[in-house]
Amino acid sequence: MSNLRPIITICGTTGVGKSKLSIELALKIAQGIHGWRGARIINADSMQVYTGMDVITNKVPVAERMGVEHLLMDFKQPGEQYVVGQWVQDAIKAIDETHRMDMIPIIVGGTSYWIQHLMFPNRLPTPGQTLSDSVAQSIANLPPELLELFNALPEHPPSAASHPQDAMLLHRLLTALDEPVAQRWHWRDTRKVMGSLRVIKDTGKAPSEIIIEQSKTALIPRYRTLCFWLYAEPSILNERLDARVDDMIKEGLLNEIKELRAIASSPACSSPDGVVAGPSDESAVQQTDYTVGIYQSIGYKEFHDYLASAEPSEKVFASAVEQMKYGTRQYSKRQIRWLKNKLLPAIYSANGGGDHAAALLPVYLLDATELGDQWTSHVLNQGERIVEAFLGNETLVDPLLLSERAREMLTIDVKPTSPTEILRARKKVVCRACTLDPSQPFMVEDGSQWEAHRRSRTHRRHASRDKKMHGQPVNRRVMVHSDIPSKVDAEDQHRSIV
């Protein structure tokens, strides 16, 4: 049996009941399961770390926490940046303290990549003092325009919608410094492009180099972890999410958004302690970076036009509500994709395959599609039995036998593990035929998405137009930031590798 200390994690989409389950399990452990004195809940929701703003961040009201202590919640100011590395350090301290109290840490939240980095150490880039040989050579070869940009990266990524030239320039810079990683990001995804550039700036290494280095070391977990994935069928969950948005509006969502707008326009936002900067007028609200701090919360940007209007209309309000509902549903989809494509493969890799029930990191899907009595039988009762067996080092039930839905969702395709496969995954290509403005290339993911695009009516129309204009299809196999074409097969004529 492993000497690693035990923790429990609860992941899942927004609105599925993670907080409810965590409180119920904490109360069960407090009854004295296998000598443990109780449990403390450690928040792993990147928005709930901020003080106040309880409605927009969907915090469990204090009265409903049943006396269970919640940590890493309500302790950062709304405009402040708080990133994964900081949270992991704080979570480790909270876990150590909880274990010293003979209590079980229950880590709960929808920010699954935070939980993943807590479970697996040494996977976050660390600051470096020197440049790797390849990065040093790449920087030496940068043209003056890109070198100037690298030496003075913007504090926040530009909007590709309003500043497409700036976005493309960032992508050109990343391509020059780390082409394999640049090929994975759409030029419009300035947040990821900027993130990769920041890794180079902070570590002195190209992200692709870091991926190769990490692939040489096995995933070794930090704790003996019982993982719960709380899941609800999307068709049912979406109805709940829509209803929750309506409830949030009734509970004062707009007042909280007005408070955030006031914070964004306050001179205090320009303080040097990590708080988001901005002038003290409405222009600051207009320039708010929606990828920073609590301003990422779904609802803030969606209601911008309504609250900024001198004469807000019911039509604009209804549009904002629908945008928030749509954004929430899309966020839920992204959370599921991360769990299936990132967290589960990492857990299975660390477990080394074999017997799921005997794994060091057992992972269970609890079906929260139905509420009421179904919650008690399918979620609470099953969860309590699994926790009791886990803490008692007893034989665990096979996760795939818990339910048909568990078998379906926990069975995943083999994901790429070699550095080459990882870097080639999700590579973007440019469709030259559908690029109407060369400064804003039309990009699509290689593979099935490209094939679907190639068969689309729009692509066929553009390709036919180009053939009439040029007498032959447009060559596709050129780098997006290069004007030099290369030889390609006939079927590849309209696509360019990014």
Only one residue has tokens 């790797």, namely 132
Convert the pLDDT of each residue in 321-379 to its tens digit: 999 999 999 999 999 998 998 899 889 888 886 666 667 899 999 999 988 888 999 99
Q: How far is CA 186 from CA 112, 127, 427, 445, 464, in A?
A: 23, 26, 9, 9, 26
pTM: 0.75
Angle, to 10 degrees, between the axis of helix 448-455 and the axis of helix 457-470? 70
Q: Following DSSP, what letter does each residue of 39-96 receive, concatenated?
A: EEEEE--TTTTBSS-TTTTTPPPGGGSTT--EESSS-B-TTB---HHHHHHHHHHHHH
pLDDT at 283: 47
Residues with Cβ within 8 Å of residue 239, at least 6 apart in sequence: none
Distance spanning both ends of the chain, measured CA to CA: 48
Residues of the chain with pLDDT under 70: 1-2, 125-126, 128-129, 265-296, 353-358, 414-420, 468-498
Residue type, 330: Q
Give the number of other Cβ atoms within 10 Å of residue 379's Cβ. Answer: 25
Tell me phi and psi for residue 47, to 5 degrees. Answer: -95, -25
Domains of the chain: 6-123+219-237+329-410 (3.40.50.300), 133-214 (1.10.20.140), 245-324 (no CATH), 427-497 (no CATH)
pLDDT at 279: 38
Q: Which residues of 346-359 are buried (b: 16+ CB within 10 A; e: fewer)?
A: bbbebbeeeebeeb
pLDDT at 497: 39
495 touches 447 (CB < 8 A): no
Tell me phi and psi for residue 359, to 5 degrees. Answer: -70, 155
**Cα(337)–Cα(355) distance, integer angstroms:** 24
pLDDT at 387: 97
In a 3-state reduction of DSSP, which class is residue 186? coil
pLDDT at 450: 86
Convert the pLDDT of each residue in 14-60 to its tens digit: 999 999 999 999 999 999 899 999 999 999 999 999 988 888 888 99
Angle at the Cα of 49 from the Cα atoms of 45 and 51, rounded to 5 degrees: 140
387: enclosing H helix or E strand: helix 381-391
**Cα(474)–Cα(434) distance, integer angstroms:** 10
pLDDT at 276: 42
357 touches 396 (CB < 8 A): yes
228, two tokens: 């719960």
CA 349 to chain centre: 20
**Cα(203)–Cα(130) distance, integer angstroms:** 8
58 touches 12 (CB < 8 A): no
pLDDT at 295: 63
Q: What is the 3-state secondary structure (H, E, C) of 298-315?
A: CCCCCCHHHHHCCCCCHH
pLDDT at 284: 45
294, two tokens: 């609590």
